[in-house]
Amino acid sequence: MNALVRVMPALPGTLRRSSRMVERSVMVYRRTWMIIVSGFFEPLFYLLSIRIGFGALIGEVTVDGSLIDYAEFVAPALMASAAMNGAVYDSTMNIFYKLKHAKLYETVLATPLSPTEVAAGEILWALTRGLLYSIAFLICIVALGMASSGWILLAVPACVLIGFAFAAMGMAVTTYMRGWSDFEFIPAATLPMFLFSATFYPISSYGGWAWAVQISPLYHGAALVRAAALGDASWGIVGHVTYLVVMAGVGLAIAGRRLGTLLRA
C-alpha cells in the first residue's frame, strides 16, 4: 500500500512519458502503414478456412451440454490466438532488434524516461496494434456470420488483455535472449499453446489432463473470448481475467527491472 501511495502522484507523468514510445512507433509506421493493413488479412484467411472447411465438415458440436455451431466454437479461440501471436511477435523480435541492434533504448534512457516507462510504452504500442487487429478480426467474424451474441463486442477488450499479458511476458523473456537463435524457442512455447488450449475442442476432451491445459495462458484467453462470443457469463471469467492480469503484472515488472540492469550497468 505504501509503495502504491508513493507511485500514485507520479503516475500521470509516467503515463505521459510512456506514451512517447507509442508516438515514436506511430511515426515509424506512418510510412509503412501497409504492414498494419496486411494484418487484416490474417483473420480473414483463418476464418474463411474454418467457415468453408471445418464448419461444413463438422457442423455442430456439444459443449457443456449445449449444441453450438463448430465455427462459432473455434472462431473466438482463433481470435485469442491471433492476439497472442501479434503480441508475442511485437514484444520479442521487434524489441530484441531495438534493444541489441538499433540501441534505441540506450538513446531513450539518456532522456528523462526510465526503463520501466520504456517497457510500458513499448507494451502500450503492442496493445494499440493488437486492438486494431482485434477489431479487424471481430469485423470478419460478424461479416462471415460466425457470431450469435451482441456480447461478442467484449471479445475486443478481452483480446487487449491477452495482448497485454503476452506482450509483457514476451518482453521479459526477450531481455534474457542472447542472440537470434534463442528465438527458436518461442514457437516451441506458442505452438503447443495454440494446439492444446481448448482451442479446437472443448476442455472436456482432455479428460484427466484438463489441469495441464489450464496452465496455458492461452486457455484462459480463449475461454474469455469464447465466453464473450457466446454471451456466456460465469464465475470462471473472474479466474481467467485474474490469471492474465497477474501474468501481465509479473511480465511488466520483470521487463522493467531487466531493462534497467541491461542498460544501466
Partner 1 sequence: MASAIASLAVPDPSHPPVIAARSITKRFGDFEAVRGIDFDVARGECFGFLGPNGAGKSSLMRMVSSVSPVTSGELHIFGMDPATNGPAIRARMGVVPQTDNLDQELTVEENLVIYGRYFDLARSQCRDRARELLDFVKLADRAGSRVEPLSGGMKRRLTIARSLMNRPELLLLDEPTTGLDPQARHVLWERLYQLKEQGVTLVLTTHYMDEAEQLCDRLVVMDHGLIVAGGTPRGLIDEHATREVLELRLAASDRSGVAQHIGDLAVRVEDLPDRVLVYTPDGDEALARLRAAGVHPLGSLVRRSSLEDVFLRLTGRTLTD
Cβ pair 72, 229 in contact under 8 A: yes
CB of 219 to partner 1, least distance (A): 36
Residue labelled with grid coordinates 476432451? 205
Taking the complex as a whole, the smallest distance from the CB of residue 105 to partner 1 amounts, in Å, to 9
- Judge whether 36 and 29 are in contact, CB under 8 Å: yes
Rounded distance, CA 139 to CA 136, Å? 5
Distance CA 40, CA 133 (A): 6
Query: In terms of CB distance, is 60 or 106 closer to partner 1?
Result: 106
| CB of 133 closer than 8 Å to CB of 82 | yes
User: Measured between alpha carbons, how far is 90 from 250 in angstroms, rounded to an integer?
Assistant: 18
Nearer of residues 22 and 248 to partner 1, judged by Cβ: 22
Distance of CA 238 to the CA centre of its chain: 18
CB closer to partner 1 out of 72 and 90 = 90
Residue 120: which of 151, 72, 164, 174 has the closest Cα? 164
Name the packing angle between helices 236-263 and 155-174 (round to 10°): 30
Which residue, 98 or 240, has its beta carbon nearer to partner 1? 98
Q: Minimum CB separation from partner 1 for residue 211, in Å?
A: 43
Cell 464465475 sits on residue: 235
Residue 93 or 109 having the CB closest to partner 1: 109
Nearer to partner 1 by Cβ, of 103 and 142: the residue is 103
- List residues bridging with 62 in a β-sheet: 67
Task: Give all strands (DSSP E) within 12-122, no chain letters.
Answer: 60-63, 66-69
| Residue with Cβ nearer partner 1 (92 or 199) | 92
Cβ 29 to partner 1 shortest distance, Å? 9
User: CB of residue 13 vs partner 1: minimum separation in angstroms?
Assistant: 9
Q: Could you tell me if 185 and 170 are in contact, meaning their C-beta atoms sit under 8 angstroms apart?
A: no
List, as one string, the DSSP characters of 132-152: HHHHHHHHHHHHTT----GGG
- Residues near partner 1, by CB under 8 A: 16-17, 20, 23-24, 27-28, 102-104, 106-114, 263-265
The distance of closest approach from Cβ of residue 103 to partner 1 in the complex, given in angstroms and rounded to an integer, is: 4
Cα(73)–Cα(67) distance, integer angstroms: 10
Give the nearest distance from C-beta 92 to partner 1 in angstroms. 18
Min CB(117)–partner 1 separation in Å: 9
User: Which residue number, 73 or 105, has a Cβ lying nearer to partner 1?
Assistant: 105
